[in-house]
Chains A and B, each alone.
Chain A
Amino acid sequence: SQELEQSPQSLIVQEGKNLTINCTSSKTLYGLYWYKQKYGEGLIFLMMLQKGGEEKSHEKITAKLDEKKQQSSLHITASQPSHAGIYLCGAALKTSYDKVIFGPGTSLSVIP
């Protein structure tokens, strides 16, 4: 099974709706990254969480890390078409952060 799982695999929401994407690790997390990728393009850094319970926000996107559950959630409030893309979580599995594995991604479509 995957070391890092994301749910849902894909999501279609109406513009203005809220949504949540989850990322769960089967191994100990030392840090959790969230990225957004447009088709065929590079990854856009959204945020990084390091401590259990840490929560960060950037514009309408909020991410939280639950260290005990080895899980992170990404929440988008009042979604817009510009939020569409693939959301990838990456987990640092070493304290040196020099090995980051990525989840399979969640494809988000926002319907105007």
Chain B
Amino acid sequence: SAVISQKPSRDICQRGTSLTIQCQVDSQVTMMFWYRQQPGQSLTLIATANQGSEATYESGFVIDKFPISRPNLTFSTLTVSNMSPEDSSIYLCSVEIPGGSYEQYFGPGTRLTVT
């Protein structure tokens, strides 16, 4: 398994501002993922962030709105830009454990409220 931490755990932000969420893993992983969970909803994949390459975004998500950095094998950031109340969600990072098991583990999430 992997121990994954996220910062901040929660935040309340004003519309029009940006927030950067950090995801730290206790071991080196190739694949990291960012998900969004809107209130009362299931998870939606935002993008896949592999070290050394540009993030791959899912349909409906764009780099200008959700820029992602992946500077090394244990860390990634997701920025939510120019926020609106519709961005209020839990944002979760996950990692795929190397070794061929394809198991994915999730961080505790960042609860974002935009006012």
- Where the two chains meet, the residues of A that have a C-beta atom closer than 8 Å to any C-beta of B are 31, 33, 35, 40-43, 45, 48, 50, 88, 90, 92, 97-105
Partner of B107, one of A33, A42, A101: A42
Question: Is B45 touching A31 in the complex (CB atoms < 8 A)?
Answer: no
- Chain A contacts for B104, CB-based, 8 A: 33, 45, 48, 90, 100
- B96 within 8 A of partner (CB): yes
Residues in B neighbouring A45, C-beta threshold 8 A: 1, 103-106
Give the docked Cα–Cα distance between A100 and B48 (Å).
10
Note all chain B residues with C-beta closer than 8 A to A42.
92, 106-109
Consensus secondary structure, chain B interface: strand
A97 in contact with B106 (CB, 8 Å): no
Which chain B residues lie closer than 8 Å to A88 at the CB level?
42-43
Q: Contact at A41–B109, with CB atoms within 8 Å?
A: yes
Given contacts A31-B102, A43-B43, 14 further A-B contacts (CB under 8 A): A41-B108, A42-B107, A42-B109, A45-B103, A48-B102, A88-B43, A98-B31, A98-B48, A98-B56, A98-B96, A99-B45, A100-B33, A100-B104, A102-B44
**Is the CB–CB distance between B101 and A48 below 8 Å?**
yes
Q: Contacting B102 at CB < 8 Å: which of A43, A92, A101?
A: A92
Instruction: Indicate if B90 sits at the interface (CB-CB under 8 A).
Output: yes
> A102 contacts B42, CB within 8 Å?
yes
Question: Hey, which chain A residues are within 8 Å of B108, CB to CB?
Answer: 41-42
B111 contacts partner chain A, Cβ-Cβ < 8 Å: yes
**Contact (A104, B103) CB under 8 Å given A40-B90, A40-B111, A97-B96:** no
Q: What separation, in Å, do the CA atoms of A88 and B35 have in the docked complex? A: 14
Per-residue 0/1 for B77-115: is the Cβ within 8 Å of any A Cβ (1 yes, 0 no)?
A: 000000000000010101010000111111111010000
